[in-house]
A and B are shown apart, each in its own frame.
Chain A
Amino acid sequence: MPLLEIKNLTVKFPSRKGDFTAVDDVSLSVEPGEILGIVGESGAGKSTVGNAIISLLDPPGYVSGGSVWLKGERIDDLDENLQSAIRGKRIGMIFQDPLTSLNPLETVGAQLIETIILHLKLDEKAARARAVDLLNQVGIENAEERVDQFPHQFSGGMRQRVVIALALCSDPEVVIADEPTTALDVSIQAQILGLLRKLCEDRNVGMIMVTHDMGVIAEVTDRVAVMYRGKLVEIGKTDDVLYRPTHDYTKSLISAVPRPDKKVDRFPLVTYIEDVTERPDDMKLSDMWLGKTRDYEDFDGPMLTVENLKQDFVTKRGIFKRNHKYFTALKGISFDIKQGEVFGIVGESGSGKSTIARCVTGIYEPTAGDISICGADLNKLKDKNRRNYYRRQTQMVFQDPFSSLNGRMRVENIIAEPIVFHKQAADKAEVKKIVDELLETVGLGIGAARKFPHEFSGGQRQRISIARALATRPRFLICDEPTSALDVSIQAQILNLLKDLQEELGLTMMFISHDLPVIRQMCDRVAVMQSGEILEIAETEALFNAPQHAYTQSLLGLMPKFRH
């Protein structure tokens, strides 16, 4: 008899356009001491399965069919009182965002003690002792002291440990972890995953690990279930599914994961996605407006030279300037990018990599240092026409596809704005023609022009964002984490598109990412950053094969174990 078993579970969300089936006839089971991964892209219904097990579906969702069994006892049809007796006591839950999972007004101790007393009926003193003990077990030092602190006094990783301690309060038989490491940096992610694995083994707990990340799946799970649009398409031993997938969706999903071990030309065609229209083969960029000779002057030397760039941010304003408090995001960095090269910048959050992009494009005014693009220092250039001439040579693709497009403008106007502003077209008809061409180039039909951004998916929006960046016919394209908000299969498409554009247009590119495998697939040279400094610059292959700096070595060591 399995520890936890789900039989033919179906979950529906009613809406005015009819019922939406979030989970469709899913069956799976978990054994004691085992970690079962549920993997899928956004909208696959994987989190909904987790919520349905403990009957905490977000309204208006409801279970329309199937059953949930815990040690042979049916639990989904119990009344609310019996349900809450199971929740927390026999089934623990860990959510994604540790920053919002804890009540900010109570000490972590108070929250632990309340839960312990509720489930184990201990007295206050024993409960406190257990709380301290639990904090110790999840790796929090000085637990005796920290138990009386408030959540905001813990860092993100530490808070996730507290959340895990809360889930373990009453020695549950099953733990459901919903994207437990998604909000954390890689180094902390590895620690938390290790902790979860160990707790499972020590306590013989069965765990369901819901995640979108193949690396996490490869790292900790024993078995894995793959979900696609509410359906379970494949389930089996992790090794079997990852290395010998049988279902087409699993195959295309796995082929879309960037390989950390070697560079490939393109991602093999990702077949299982509907919202793509690949550019027709007979469309050559060289025949179109975009590919026509650009009116730029030739110059020698690197595309971008950055010297001693320093950037301070005011964190606290005093009355006078000298009373301001500063945070130094960039501590005097130097590098250059050759013409036609794809230059990668990699680092964890807060390393200053995005700040560089914003200094180069003139969004921030650097505190000190020189930046010259195409041999000219824009900050020293007084003539407005010349400034615009240089400015339109550099464009940027942003990270967040949802906030990088103005939701109140039609797509055609979003893309037309730079063309009109930089007077790249003679009249309205020409603008319209260029916009349509650009939309086709990035793989959206011209039908997209009259729509608003909210009518598109994340990947499609990122394509619009790329079309806008191309609309000034730039020579230098900066991509700031262009795919980190996207599903892995969409990421593969966007990376393919960027590669094609770079090759066909001979673009110089600065590619910023926290994701080492992505960097390996995209870049010729890479700079590794940590807390506002560049630690190492090397050719990509050299860096991955023989990293020099200790930090780079540790980053590479943390790369997902998943191999193709």
Chain B
Amino acid sequence: MQNENLSLYQDFRRRLADNDIWYSFKHTPMAYISAIAGLTMIALAVFAPLIAPQNPFDLASLDLFDASMPPSWMDQGDPRFLLGTDDQGRGILSTIFYGLRISLFVGFTSVFLSLLIGVSLGLISGYVGGRVDSIIMRIADVQLSFPAILIALLIDGVFRTVLSKEIHEDLALYVVIFAIAISGWVQYARTVRSSVMTEKIKEYVQAGQVIGLGSARIMIKHILPNVLGPVFVIGTLHLALAIIIEATLSFLGVGLPPTTPSLGTLIRIGNEYLFSGEWWITIFPGLTLIIVSLSVNLFGDWLRDALNPKLQ
């Protein structure tokens, strides 16, 4: 058994050394720098409660005497608050760690949900064809007439009207995730559908039919793995977009409330103090947001080129 594991490992090593994508990753500074930056951000978010200097949600620890302090290297700065404090005395660095946590959570879950809906519908649409296909694609067309941000705004707006204010505040996180997920499925569905249409006339699918395999098995076991490449690319780029949409919604005041602040909420709070010179309340969360979306975008951009050998 140990022998077999060893040969599996060697097999893996050989494949890795031979793999063009891994080679490209190792030799593209943009790719690994963005991957490292992205993973660092994820680590900060996951371990926020352990590494944040303060817990900004612990009201007992807040002190209004600490409010609106500049970063520690400036005059009147306090070494306890590296990046300064906001109007309620919360340390900016700590709120960023916690905000990152929420932003990334919303980003990942909404992308996952979106991907699940889009890939399933695209697969069915492409493989079954006919009327089912027309219906799904018409819905996609109509939705595509509106930018994602508008769809998300609209869904959020509807929930705001239907739910009472208190319930809405409690559910805001899930409403935002749902809104972003629904606003993004079309791209997955269209891409998967067109890949399925080219895959399903290929001879390996016919070979499956000649063996006697059923449609569901052919769809999931044979076609699906062959259409996932572009889905990963879209998923990565969508992650950046989802994080930006969430930040935008929160900035516009229709996303996450100040009780569970994401990076967007923090920027919104800080924006009010921009003119009075307390720039750090906005700028540091803003920079964090840029680093996150830039590193995800850079990684996605590299991934797209690496998966598309034509571009070499």
- Taking beta carbons and an 8 Å cutoff, which residues of A are in contact with B? 16, 358, 361-363, 387-388, 391-392, 394-396, 398-400, 403-409, 417-418, 421-422, 450, 465, 468, 472
Contact = CB atoms under 8 A, between A and B. Distances in A.
B308 interface: no
Contacts of B207: 396, 398, 404-405, 465, 468
Contacts of B61: none
Contacts of B304: none
Contact of B212 (A16, A388, A405, A465): A388
A287 B175 CA distance: 67
Given A16-B23, A450-B11, A403 B212 contact: no
A422 B226 CA distance: 24
Nearest to A401: B203
A406 B212 contact: no
Given A16-B23, A450-B11, A404 B210 contact: no
Interface in B198-236: 202-204, 206-213, 222, 225-226
Contacts of A472: 211
B210 A417 contact: no
A400 B207 CA distance: 12
Interface in B28-46: none
A399 B23 contact: no
Shortest Cβ-Cβ A-B pairs, 8 listed: A404-B203, A408-B225, A398-B203, A403-B202, A406-B204, A418-B211, A391-B212, A361-B210
B211 A406 contact: no
A201 B235 CA distance: 60
Candidate in B204, B206, B209 with the most chain A CB atoms within 10 angstroms: B204
A403 B204 contact: yes
B209 A363 contact: yes
Contact of B210 (A396, A400, A408): A396
B16 to A, nearest CB: 14
A406 B11 CA distance: 20
Given A362-B209, A363-B209, 20 more contacts: A363-B210, A391-B212, A395-B211, A396-B206, A396-B210, A398-B207, A403-B202, A404-B202, A404-B203, A404-B206, A405-B207, A406-B225, A408-B226, A409-B225, A418-B211, A421-B212, A422-B211, A450-B11, A465-B207, A472-B211
A42 B222 CA distance: 30
B222 A406 contact: yes
Nearest to B214: A421
B239 to A, nearest CB: 24
Contact of B204 (A391, A399, A404): A404
6 contacts: A363-B210, A398-B206, A403-B204, A404-B204, A408-B226, A421-B212
A363 B211 contact: no
A532 to B, nearest CB: 20
A395 B202 CA distance: 17
Interface of B: 11, 23, 202-204, 206-213, 222, 225-226
Contacts of B225: 406, 408-409
A358 B206 contact: yes
Contacts of A406: 204, 222, 225-226
Contacts of A363: 206, 209-210
Contacts of B202: 403-404
Contact of A361 (B204, B209, B222): B209
Contacts of B226: 406-408
A136 B139 CA distance: 52
Nearest to A452: B15
Contact of A394 (B23, B206, B208, B210): B210
A420 to B, nearest CB: 10
Contacts of B206: 358, 361, 363, 396, 398, 404
B203 A400 contact: yes
A324 to B, nearest CB: 12
A362 B211 CA distance: 10
B277 to A, nearest CB: 54
Nearest to B199: A403
B209 A417 contact: no
A262 B64 CA distance: 101
Contacts of B11: 450
Nearest to B130: A317
Contact of B203 (A403, A407, A422): A403
A405 B203 CA distance: 7
Contacts of A361: 206, 209-210
A334 to B, nearest CB: 23
Contacts of B212: 387-388, 391-392, 421-422
Contact of B211 (A399, A407, A417): A417
Nearest to A400: B203
A16 B28 CA distance: 14
Contacts of B209: 361-363
A358 B208 CA distance: 12
B48 to A, nearest CB: 38
A190 B213 CA distance: 43
B222 to A, nearest CB: 5
A450 B8 CA distance: 10
A317 to B, nearest CB: 9
A396 B208 CA distance: 10
Contacts of B23: 16
A421 B217 CA distance: 11
A450 to B, nearest CB: 7
A387 B209 CA distance: 13
Contact of A421 (B203, B204, B213, B222): B213
B183 to A, nearest CB: 30
A450 B203 CA distance: 22
Nearest to A403: B202
B203 A399 contact: yes
A417 B11 CA distance: 22
A398 B203 CA distance: 7
Contacts of B203: 398-400, 403-404
Contacts of A387: 212
A422 B222 CA distance: 18
A468 B211 CA distance: 9
A273 B206 CA distance: 31
Given A16-B23, A408-B225, A362 B204 contact: no
A17 to B, nearest CB: 10
Contacts of A422: 211-212
A472 to B, nearest CB: 7
Contacts of A16: 23
A433 B198 CA distance: 35
Given A16-B23, A450-B11, A405 B211 contact: no
Nearest to B218: A406
A468 B213 CA distance: 14
A465 B206 CA distance: 12
Nearest to A407: B226
B210 A362 contact: yes
A482 to B, nearest CB: 11
A23 B193 CA distance: 42
Contacts of A399: 203
B209, B211, B212, B213: which has the most chain A beta carbons within 10 Å?
B211
